[in-house]
Amino acid sequence: MYEGGREHVAAMSILTRLGAWLFGPPRPASPAEQESPEEEAAGGTLYVQPIEASIDLHHFAPKDIPSVVVEYLREARAHGLEEVRLIHGRGKGIQRRRVQVILSRHRHVISFRSDGLGSTIARLDPSAEKTPGALRARLELRRGRG
């Protein structure tokens, strides 16, 4: 289970840099949007980037992918997204497997599927609590019935 800490700060830094590259200069965060003293200590001003329904993981170093995926799922769910696309590429399937292992263990992912085009689509649980239906769907996916 992801607990935050340095990985969280690194993921936020990576997402901020990627967002600046994709969307231009970011706007400074309001005091209400600033999350923790750890993030402030990590590098000065915090910036807020829009969360979209997809993220292209090609822009990240392979070692950063797990923390980026977890942070992206957290932010997407916080912004009310119920379905997200994680673009990992086609290749040999190594990155796809890494992403899908993270999704299979994430407590707010109800289900996920590969689209066959180099991305995985995940459905997020909009409620705060795990439901028996979500647990059943995850078990069926692990057994290959989804």
Could you tell me the pLDDT band of residue 51, with boundaries at 50, 70 and 90?
A: confident
Cβ atoms within 10 Å of 56's Cβ, excluding its own: 15
Verdict on whether the full-model pTM lies above 0.75: no
Specify if 113 maps to a domain.
Answer: yes
Specify if 81 maps to a domain.
Answer: yes
pLDDT digit string (tens) for 60-70?
999 999 999 99
Please tell me the total count of domains within the chain.
1
HSE of 25, CA atoms in CB hemisphere, 13 A: 3
| Burial category of 119 from C-beta neighbours within 10 Å (exposed 0-12, middle 13-18, buried 19 and up) | buried
Give the pLDDT of residue 91. 86
Give the pLDDT of residue 52. 86
Percent of the chain with pLDDT over 90: 40
CA-CA-CA-CA dihedral for 83, 86, 28, 40, to nearest 10? 110
Specify if 1 maps to a domain.
Answer: no
From residue 66, alpha-carbon distances to 1, 7, 71, 79, 144 in Å are: 12, 9, 9, 20, 23
- Interstrand relation of 83-87 and 47-48 (parallel, antiparallel or unpaired): unpaired
Per-residue pLDDT at 16 exceeds 70: no
pLDDT digit string (tens) for 128-140?
544 445 555 555 5
Q: What is the mean pLDDT of the chain?
A: 74
pLDDT digit string (tens) for 107-120?
999 999 999 899 99
Specify if 95 maps to a domain.
Answer: yes
Domain at 46, CATH number: 3.30.1370.110
3-state SS assignment for residue 51: coil
- Interstrand relation of 119-124 and 83-87 (parallel, antiparallel or unpaired): antiparallel
Task: List the domain range (segments joined by +) for residue 94.
Answer: 6-142
